[in-house]
Amino acid sequence: MAMRVLVTDGMDAGAMEQLRRDGYEVVEQFYEPDSLGTALRDFDAVIIRSATKIKEPQIDAAKGGRLKLIIRAGVGVDNIAVPYAEAAGIQVRNTPRASSNAVAELALALLFSCARNISIAGHTMRENKWEKKAYSKGFELSGKTMGVVGYGRIGSLVGQKAQALGMNVLSYVNRHKPEGCECDTMHFVSPDEVFAQSDVIVLCAPGSGKPIVDAESLAKMKDGVVIVNVSRGANVDEAALLDALNSGKVKAAGLDVWMSEKDPNWALAQHPAVSCTPHIGAGTKEAQKRIGAELVDIIEHFEA
């Protein structure tokens, strides 16, 4: 019997065709949470992105069926109840390498937008307004200090690109310090030093259940700091960030991720000092091809 693969949130068309040429039965269909678990009983593997969540109820409903593999086409797996799935005999995999560069480049794009008022200046231009004086008060990145929270695959790429722009980089680690990163323009320091010394703070860390940017950490930061989040929406207390933007404590923010993707914080998204995108960090043709290739490799080498 051919292995049946469910794709709920889309994937690279070439990769999907490759799986079909390899003899896999691939079904592309999105299911609402209430019906997803039952549907999974008829598939050996499921490929999801961020829109689909496979938590305890879906896993319970899938038990006794064919499901043996859940693949997250992306980095984080916080939309999957991983230990619960594995306890039920279902393996969980992801594609951590494929989208790292795309996310890192978006972090820099959001930062450039914040530094030069690109988002709001472009918006007013589309309203037939010539606001040159208002938006000619940007700042240059060269010579500034960037604090990178989470110096893994994405964070280290952000740090490398920032150093190439002439920035100094600070980060901190909770466990093992990556080797070969520290140099004259990159140092690991304490969390409080990252907050206190950085002109720009970029969040690249996985979600931990507690916001990294909240009222407490904001109070430790420089006045006029810039916040960029390409990690998880839960890493930012959105109400605290909005208050800090309104007070001027935070000069600008670049946001690709949100607490809720179904109902984002529109007041934050519409703030004139915010440059924002709808979770498109991995949204490049190159990254999608790499993700697709990694998905194919995982399925082809899967052993139940």
What's the distance, CA 236 to chain centroid? 12
Active site residue 176: no
Taking the C-alpha atoms of residue 299 and residue 304, their distance in angstroms, rounded to an integer, is 11
E-strand spans in the chain? 4-7, 25-28, 45-48, 69-72, 91-94, 145-149, 168-172, 186-188, 200-203, 225-229, 250-255, 274-276
Taking the C-alpha atoms of residue 136 and residue 218, their distance in angstroms, rounded to an integer, is 26
Q: Give me the catalytic one of 17, 140, 182, 261.
A: 261
Q: Give me the catalytic one of 232, 238, 271, 294.
A: 232
Read off the tokens for 8: 């709920």
Whether 69 contacts 44, CB under 8 Å: yes
Whether 4 contacts 62, CB under 8 Å: no
Active site residue 279: yes
Contacts of 43 (CB under 8 A, 6+ apart): 4, 5, 6, 27, 65, 66, 67
Taking the C-alpha atoms of residue 105 and residue 203, their distance in angstroms, rounded to an integer, is 13
Which phi and psi angles does 299 have, rounded to 5°?
-70, -40
Q: Give me the catalytic one of 72, 93, 271, 279.
A: 279
Active site residue 261: yes
Judged by DSSP in three states, 52 sits in: coil
Task: Give the active site residues.
Answer: 232, 261, 279
